[in-house]
Amino acid sequence: MRLRKLVQRSLSLDSLKILVPKIEALALSSIQNWAHHHNNNGHVVNTFKEMKRFSFDVGILTIFGYLEPHLKEELKKNYWIVDKGYNSFPSTIPGTQYQKALLARKKLGKILCEIICERKEKKLVDRDLLSCLLNWKGEGGETLNDDQIADNIIGVLFAAQDTTASVMTWIVKYLHDQPKLLQTVKAEQKAIQKSNEVDNLPLSWNQTRNMPITYKVVLESLRMSSIISFPFREAVADVEYKGFLIPKGWKAMPLFRNIHHNPEFFSEPQKFNPSRFEVAPKPNTFMPFGSGVHACPGNELAKLETMIMVHHLVTKFRWELVGSECGIQYGPFPLPLNGLPTKFRRESTTYN
């Protein structure tokens, strides 16, 4: 709960407002190589991997604010090694993915301690997560040591990526599969793009909060994909539910997909239909980020970076899926098979 409050503070709406132009810059940087300029024949990318790189950069931004490029690259290099090997078969054999992940985790800790020491020396007062962790004091005056801060940062980095990247990957697929809906989203986003181009303005916070069609697409993508399968909860007292007793101390894991795909709550649940969110869902029937005090503290950031990415995807690209295979893979979150290989082509910037 202590860490949760610190994360919430660094990701408050006031903090997110000032991040909009920086997140937009990261989105533009991420997509600039997705299509070739010289012939516009398109460039096949692994959508999930590209979205994951973008989410990583956003995570770095929210944790550190500005970070020296060489430190960012070192973090990224070692993070990907940990990400690839932490869930592999535990082995003491040198050279295995698991052992590589352990070594990379130690390197991550050293790099983070270097960043922490530098921040302490400069005594910077920022609104990012690192500043919140450095400035935290408990009721008894206790503070977090460098190792605790590093552990928390790595945990937040992991939490910030796969889930958001998975949702953005599904959005690319859902919009591709529904051309009429894609055109509606394009129209909404191109109107915003056109209004900004007059004075060469970036996206504003207010604009990201006024994309009703796109926002419903994001919500429906969260419902359909149900990236988070279940939360771990412990009964703090005996609970009786529909004739079943859940004894105190037992673990309960409500399956969000079963809730989100229940026809009693959502008509034709297997159909992608963003218009269903024109009416707010009944309480406790739509929980893509969990609920209550345990809800994901980064949910507003996830939605913000998704809205910004969708804005630039639909205004700058046309795309087609590559390969005839379709299906879902789990790693551990559900995403389109093979990370959704996609060919992107640059969109014309002319207006009707």
Pairing label, strands 239-241, 43-46: unpaired
- How far, CA to CA in Å, does 51 sit from each of 25, 197, 295? 14, 26, 23
R_g over Cα of the chain: 21
Kindly state the helix (H) or strand (E) to which residue 321 belongs, with its residue range. strand 317-321
Q: Give me the residues paired with residue 338 across strands.
A: none
How would you class 8 by CB atoms within 10 Å of its CB: exposed for 0-12, middle for 13-18, buried for 19 or more? middle
Residue 326 annotated as part of some ligand binding site:
no
Q: Which residues contact 45 (CB under 8 A, 6 or more apart)?
A: 34, 341, 342, 344
Residue with tokens 């931004």: 61
CB atoms within 10 A of CB 46: 15
Q: How many CB atoms lie within 10 A of CB 289?
A: 19
Which of these, 321, 297, 262, 299, lies nearest to 46 by C-alpha position? 321
**349 φ, ψ (degrees, to nearest 5):** -100, 10
Separation between Cα atoms, residue 24 and residue 13, nearest integer Å: 16
For residue 338, give the DSSP letter: G
Phi-psi region of 323 (alpha: psi -120 to 50; beta: other; left: phi over 0): left
Task: List the binding residues for heme.
Answer: 296
Q: Which residues are annotated as a binding site?
A: 296
